[in-house]
Amino acid sequence: MASQDPRGNEIEVLAAALSRLPGLGPRSARRAVLWLVKRRESALVELLSSLQAVQENLVECHTCGNVDTSDPCHICADPRRDGRSLCVVEDVADLWALDRAKLFSGRYHVLGGRLSALEGIGPEDLNIGTLLARIDEGVDEVVLAMNATLEGQTTAHYIAERLEERPLRVTQLAHGLPVGGELDYMDEGTLAQALRARRPVG
Ligand SMILES: [Zn+2]
């Protein structure tokens, strides 16, 4: 017979589910569960309803790959945004980080990852075809806002090469970004600086 865990099965199941979240190990997952159990009527109810809202309402924007409550997302649908300027990012988290900094007035394109020989991720696995199609609809500037990692930079170079023949201004974030730096972890001042000082690729 399996030994009875004093914490009960529900708690273990929830802790196991939470421990799969990025940045949350088993120990902090169990602490989070305990914290929630102590606040059943307040925090737990609030968390439940926001999880349900996310499950019911969040969709991927077919234009840019953002995750939002509408498709097209609020950025693609916003007429004040400059559709002739596109900022290309690896993941939705990067888009959100840049948008929080409120410095870029154009629109975004989410690749859905980065090229990685190690993980077998090639150009066909990323949203590059849709990027080229958007660019050909009329874009003047492409800002490559990849992470300052080896794979991020490889991806930026690959896209820059694909854009070479097009009459575009292709820039990338300035190397104010620390090497290995991921946009999502950067404070807004650093991001702002990297974006303001963006320079032509080449
Ligand atoms: Zn969008």
Give the side-chain half-sphere CA count within 13 A for 140: 5
For residue 82, how far is its CA from the centre of ligand 1 (angstroms)? Answer: 13
Separation between Cα atoms, residue 128 and residue 125, nearest integer Å: 8
Cα–ligand 1 centroid distance for 78 (angstroms):
9
Residue 121 lies in a domain: yes
Counting beta carbons within 10 angstroms of the beta carbon of residue 115, is it exposed (0 to 12), middle (13 to 18) or buried (19 or more)?
A: buried
- Indicate if 88 and 174 belong to the same structural domain: yes
Q: Are residues 78 and 41 in the same domain?
A: no
174 shares a domain with 89: yes
Q: How far is the CA of 181 from the centre of ligand 1 (A)?
A: 25
Domain count, the chain: 2
The CATH number of the domain where 178 resides is what? Answer: 3.40.1360.10
pLDDT for 187 equals 77
Q: Is residue 2 part of a domain?
A: no
pTM of the model: 0.78
Mean pLDDT across 135-148: 93
pLDDT at 129 over 70: yes
For residues 112 and 102, the model is more confident at 112
> Distance from the CA of 73 to the center of ligand 1, in angstroms?
4
Report pLDDT for 49.
93
Domain encompassing residue 88: 67-200
